[in-house]
Amino acid sequence: MFIKQREVPSELKITRFLQHRMNWTEKETRQLVYDEKGFEGEVFVDHLIEKFPDDNYLAIGDFLFEFNSSYAQIDTLLLMANKLILFEIKNKEGDHYYEEGKLFTASGYELKSPFEQSDRAEALFRKKLQSFGIKIPIDSYILFVHPEFTLYQAPMTIRKLVLPTQLNAFFKKLEANLSPVSRKQIDLSQKLLNFHQPDSPFKRLPNYTYEELKKGLYCESCTNFSLSPSDKKIVCQTCKHEESIKHAVLRGVEEFHILFPNHKITLSRIKDWCRLEISDRSYQHVLSSNLVVKNHGRYSYYILAEKTYRKV
Ligand SMILES: [Zn+2]
């Protein structure tokens, strides 16, 4: 089982929202497409791992750790009975070629080397484990998961590399080597989880302020800003998608909170953010029945309880 599930990285969540609310450059669009694709590839591998019998593996999705002020990220960490496996996952497509440890596109553009990236993460992880007196062999693999990815000139001696056509056989072999998870593995997994740093130092976010962002809610289906209330529902005038007032307002609250975690959630703020033509009472009803009220009267504000997210 996954002892830490992969989540949509906060950076990706934020940029997904921002693209609808500010002028978005071509470069930012490319970065967003790239990040979405990377995330998709990682989720794809999660599904392959989840096909293993639940009691026979422990895995950690998106593991970020620090050692001596250096950070490294491991897309997926799999704990086997007698070793740890680190996965670096790539979802690139098209023709590429390999030359002296480097990766190039067919047109000769050199990409950031996944081989160096994986070596560095593995070396740092080894040091981290050593510093805690943890002795266990480590294997690492670079998985290229896109079915339309081709790599020319890759020598068969690169043991780390798993190409799309090899993925099934690779996971079958892994599965054949699994055995029921032991107490020792569970203890180790807990130690490793404690190394995980939830806040990534690698965030690259565009600068934005509340004032400059486009306000209002966009349709969750077609992303047009064309929502109107109709018969106790919110209806998109473009694609006719319907959602409840509660769902729409909570969606707005969650987006506002993710974009501006330090701003207080107040009635007036949420009204300004969502700009739905519904009464104050309707807003207030959704806020007070789904969020936790702090203070009262003029200075009241709301905080999101953990469970509010799941309702959205
Ligand atoms: Zn729509």
> What spacing in Å lies between the alpha carbon of 237 and ligand 1's midpoint?
7
Query: CA-CA distance, 18 to 258, in Å (whole number)?
Result: 11
Query: 3-class SS at 46?
Result: helix
pLDDT at 312: 44
pLDDT at 309: 54
> What spacing in Å lies between the alpha carbon of 17 and ligand 1's midpoint?
16
> What spacing in Å lies between the alpha carbon of 247 and ligand 1's midpoint?
15
Measured in residues, the chain has a length of 312
pLDDT at 310: 46
> What spacing in Å lies between the alpha carbon of 238 and ligand 1's midpoint?
5
pLDDT at 198: 82
> What spacing in Å lies between the alpha carbon of 59 and ligand 1's midpoint?
38
Query: CA-CA distance, 97 to 106, in Å (whole number)?
Result: 6
pLDDT at 288: 92
> What spacing in Å lies between the alpha carbon of 230 and ligand 1's midpoint?
14
> What spacing in Å lies between the alpha carbon of 101 and ligand 1's midpoint?
47
What pLDDT, in 10s, does the model give residues 12-53? 999 999 999 999 889 989 999 999 999 999 999 999 999 999
Handedness of CA 176, 177, 182, 186 (dihedral sign): negative
All residue ranges of the chain with pLDDT < 50 are 310-312
Handedness of CA 88, 93, 99, 103 (dihedral sign): negative
* Domains delineated in the chain: 2-195 (3.40.91), 227-311 (1.10.10)
pLDDT at 307: 58
What pTM value is reported for the model? 0.86
pLDDT at 306: 66
Handedness of CA 196, 199, 203, 205 (dihedral sign): positive
